[in-house]
Structure 1
Amino acid sequence: MKLSRAVAAVVTAVSLAVLGATTGAATTATPVVTHSAKPTIVLVHGASEDGSTWNGVTARLQKAGYTVVVPAPPLRGVASDSAYVASLLKTITGPKVLVGHSYGGMIISEVAAELPDVTALVYAAALIPQPGESLQSLVSLYPGSLFGAAARTVDYPGGTDVYVDPGQFRDVFADDRSPSDAALTAAAQRPIAASATTEAATRAAPAGIPKYVLVATEDHAIPPAAERFMARRANAWTVEVRSSHDLPTSHPDAVAGVIEKAAARP
């Protein structure tokens, strides 16, 4: 089986790292080189979900010829999650369009402030913070969020995780989907650390990076009024979609279309 250049580069980097660990020699990761005129699209999910949130969007973008990366942020805190994603993206050369859903918007904002090759930001029913703002403070800007009432905490040695009550998951996140489909997502949800919900952003997305916002008008996690407020404040190009919070899953065509618009901007 032939390996692509990108995969071969990763295998080489891993082999060198293992060799260095064996011999005691210091090594550094080899950047993954992309060979496409199109920017790499980076899709960052939020709390109570995983990378499958982006499956429909990913399939459409790949069919259109884009390289797509879907990181798995640990959901432990704004600073650590942003550092995780930034570290991954530093191994990929070339321009990038960052796309965030929900809490993922906080991550891409911080990453964009660090990486020089981000050409556009897309927020799909996502948070767009300013320094000092947290998930909790932004969701509470306007009435209408059901997230707090549906949250359930689980203590573990060293911390506390927050889940959405499976019985309320569809009402909060996935009202566009069938009960059985929403139940599958609820069962596989990845929790966010309770401390992450109150951790404040330290950096805003740079003003010079073009921003695109999809407002979910039927969102019960982030109030639509809050999404509109953040979009106006960020001076973002904005479109409204009649959707619940799981906008990338329930309306992948709309989300992929805006991403392609952002990617095509000179």
Structure 2
Amino acid sequence: MFNLIMRSIDWSVGRGVIEVERVFEYTDNNISIRFKENNLPVLDKLLALPCLFMQEGTGDEIAYVGQVNRARIVGGDVSFEYSIDGDIPPILNSFIFENRMALDMLRGYEFSRNHWALKDVDLYRFLLRTVRPRRQRPTVFQIPEHENIEAVLISVMMPFDAAFDAVYIGIQSALARLGLRCRRADDIWENAFIIQDVVALIDRSRVVVCDCTGRNPNVFYEAGIAHTLGREVILIAQAEHDIPFDLRHLRFIRYNDNAQGIAELTVALLARIQTIIGH
């Protein structure tokens, strides 16, 4: 048996309030009667059960498993404090909706109404049977559990070589005119290891530009990370043969290493980036 608390706001603050009259909504009468006294919820009994904390919705909203630690009735509300179990990965509402029969969540507007229900289902057994374990995490660098993409951040991956400074400055200046921020890894020093700065920059970026000129292995590695993280990647190069074989099916922007070539590159890049971000 488990508590299900559905709210229209997120679960980041550790405390919440719900109307007393909404406790036991979408709960079978034969269950709710066991947890009532004088027609009010017996909170101590409810607190002994695990809890599924959900936002309203059936899509990419994130649900958590945890425990209601304290609760009391104040006027017409139940005020409660809770904790999230860090050992259980967050679950998408879409997954819960797909499994709503197994979780006894088949009634009407249950996914779109604030309420506190009680379900006669073994929540942990359900999780063990259906929720996939977290994939193995990288050991060379760290990535956060959830994305935090900066809408105006464009990162540029290119060799750490002064020969590419003019290209980078040209790209940076052009993007600034669109109100976009352009950075490359040597602009920052946030971590002890440069690879962590590179990965963190890619992970925060809306678009990643990779200059394959000279077939630099670091740039190839960074392009692979960007693709794996699902970022929009724009390949540029001074020669077609600089594009690695495995990526030659993708369109790229070829440019000449002179003032006119860099100017033409920035025009082509801006057009592509505007298409991607809808500026």
TM-score over 0.5 (shorter chain): no
- TM-score scaled by structure 1? 0.36
Greater share of strand: 2
- TM-score scaled by structure 2? 0.35
Greater share of helix: 1
